Amino acid sequence: MEKITIKRTTKFYGKRKIGLDSCVIIDMMEYIEMLFYVKNLFREKDLFYTHEICVEEITKVLSSKRNSSTDETRKIVLNFLKENNIKIIKRNTENYLYKIIPIHLPDSLIIADFKKEGINLVYSQNNHFNKACQEIGINAIKIPTFDKLIEKKLKELFKQSKKK
Query: Cα–Cα distance between 125 and 135 in angstroms, integer?
Result: 17
Does residue 162 have a pLDDT over 80? no
The rounded mean pLDDT for the chain is 84
pLDDT in tens, 106-148: 999 999 999 999 999 999 999 999 999 999 999 999 887 766 6
Domain range annotation of the chain: 18-163
Given pLDDT bands bounded at 50, 70 and 90, which one contains residue 28? Answer: confident
Query: Cα–Cα distance between 149 and 151 in angstroms, integer?
Result: 5
User: Contact 76/30 with Cβ under 8 angstroms?
Assistant: no
Does residue 60 have a pLDDT over 80? yes
Q: What are phi and psi of 78, to 5 degrees?
A: -60, -40
- Tell me which residue of 130, 131, 136, 47 sits closest to 96, measured CA to CA: 136
Between 52-66 and 22-30, two packed helices, what is the crossing angle to 10 degrees? 40
Does residue 10 have a pLDDT over 80? no
Q: H/E element holding 122?
A: strand 121-124
The second-level CATH assignment, the architecture, of 18-163 is 3-Layer(aba) Sandwich (3.40)
| Cis-peptide, bond into residue 144, ω within 30° of zero | no
